[in-house]
């Protein structure tokens, strides 16, 4: 797979971008490129030390970069509410929100502070709460909201009867569910924005496959060693075969965040074989993300689980 693929970003001076999961991996590359294009970048991070190192890395590579940190744990609705309230209090419009953070396939079932299966609660519900909490700032910035899903959203299904996997936990199936739910929510966010006049453009992206920390040894999720999958992905990536790198995997989200012709519901992805690597472009929505009824159901269930309610014209 060629390594010289890239995308050109427009001048983002005067724009404010919030990137979750921006302290390492693909998210760090997204944040650095947005800062290099002139955007003010906000990094919501769980680990302040790691976030500080990421901000320093961006400033070292982008002299004059404007980068700030916010404390955020997406697995805690209270943490999401607190950070959202702090940003709302400051009142600065948000022009780009990249919902990129996530975790993948803990070997054993874990739950969030609010009792949700940790992948569903963090990857999906945490970002739902974030969009709800930041909605006034997203509306004032006529924001582009990018939901970073996964090739895993092209398989599996939502376990409507057991979304928290209490009866029979399967790590990969639960991961796929979290990304399908995230994608359906993104599609419905675009529809609701159009219907309610929010001015938000909601698009989707996926990075293909690249060697990141998602499948690496992560004691905090109960994985003490690298998985065989990530070892294979590293081997392929190092040889330029099929998959991408962390840098190229960031490109679809960057194009999604800045494409002047973007419309809600568009999905951006690598253009290489199988959409696993290569330069960025658009891709047809995965089949699991095309049901209008499923998107509305995910929206309604997410509002109920997170205990938020998005405004409607009927509220005026």
Q: Each residue of 253-280: pLDDT tens digit? A: 999 999 999 999 999 999 998 999 999 9
pLDDT at 217: 46
pLDDT at 280: 97
Better pLDDT: 112 or 223 = 112
- Crossing angle, helix 171-196 and helix 126-140, to 10 degrees? 20
169 is catalytic: no
This prediction has a pTM of 0.94
Most confident of 186-200, 216-230, 235-249: 186-200
Catalytic pick among 175, 268, 286, 299:
175
Can you list the pairs that 57-62 forms with residues at least 24 positions away whose Cβ atoms lie under 8 Å?
Answer: 57/28, 57/32, 58/28, 58/31, 58/32, 61/32, 61/36, 62/32, 62/35, 62/36
Q: Does the pLDDT value for residue 224 go beyond 80?
A: no
Q: Does the pLDDT value for residue 213 go beyond 90?
A: no
CA–CA separation, 56 and 28 (whole Å): 11
Mean pLDDT (the chain, rounded): 93
Q: Which of 24-38, 71-85, 101-115, 302-316 has the weakest average pLDDT?
A: 302-316
Q: Does the pLDDT value for residue 9 go beyond 90?
A: yes
CA–CA separation, 269 and 266 (whole Å): 10
In CATH, which superfamily holds the domain spanning 16-306?
Answer: NAD(P)-binding Rossmann-like Domain (3.40.50.720)
Domains of the chain by residue range? 16-306
Residue 249, judged by CB atoms within 10 A of its CB (0-12, 13-18, 19+), counts as: buried
Q: Does the pLDDT value for residue 1 go beyond 50?
A: no
**pLDDT > 90: what percent of the chain?**
83
pLDDT at 215: 61
Query: How far from 160 is each of 14, 129, 165, 251, CA to CA, in Å?
Result: 42, 20, 10, 33
> Under a CB-based contact definition with an 8 Å cutoff, are residues 44 and 17 in contact?
no
Count the neighbouring beta carbons within 10 Å of the beta carbon of residue 64. Answer: 8
CA–CA separation, 209 and 140 (whole Å): 35
């Amino acid at each position: 797979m060629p390594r010289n693929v890239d995308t050109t970003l427009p001048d983002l001076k005067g724009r404010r971008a919030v990137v979750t999961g921006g302290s390492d991996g693909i998210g760090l590359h997204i944040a650095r490129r947005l800062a290099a294009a002139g955007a003010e970048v906000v990094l919501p991070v769980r680990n302040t030390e790691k976030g500080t190192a990421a901000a320093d890395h961006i400033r070292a590579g982008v002299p004059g970069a404007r980068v700030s940190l916010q404390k955020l744990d997406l697995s805690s609705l209270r943490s999401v509410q607190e950070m959202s309230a702090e940003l709302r209090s400051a009142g600065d419009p948000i022009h780009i929100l990249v919902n990129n953070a996530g975790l993948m396939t803990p070997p054993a079932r874990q739950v969030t502070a609010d009792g949700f299966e940790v992948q569903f609660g963090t990857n999906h519900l945490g970002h739902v709460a974030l969009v709800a909490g930041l909605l006034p700032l997203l509306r004032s910035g006529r924001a582009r909201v990018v939901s970073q899903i996964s090739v895993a959203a092209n398989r599996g299904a939502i376990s409507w009867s057991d979304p928290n996997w209490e009866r029979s936990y399967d790590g990969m199936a639960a991961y796929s569910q979290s990304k399908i739910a995230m994608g359906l929510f993104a599609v419905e966010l675009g529809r609701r924005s159009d219907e309610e006049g929010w001015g938000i453009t909601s698009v989707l992206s996926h990075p293909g496959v690249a060697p990141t920390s998602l499948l690496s040894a992560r004691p905090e999720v109960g994985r003490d060693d690298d998985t065989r999958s990530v070892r294979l992905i590293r081997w392929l990536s190092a040889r330029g075969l099929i998959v991408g790198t962390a840098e190229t995997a960031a490109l679809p989200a960057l194009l999604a965040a800045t494409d002047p012709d973007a419309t809600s519901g568009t999905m951006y992805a690598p253009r290489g074989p199988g959409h696993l690597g290569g330069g960025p472009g658009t891709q047809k929505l995965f089949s699991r993300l095309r049901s209008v009824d499923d998107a509305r159901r995910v929206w309604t269930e997410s509002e109920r689980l997170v205990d938020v309610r998005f405004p409607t014209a009927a509220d005026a």
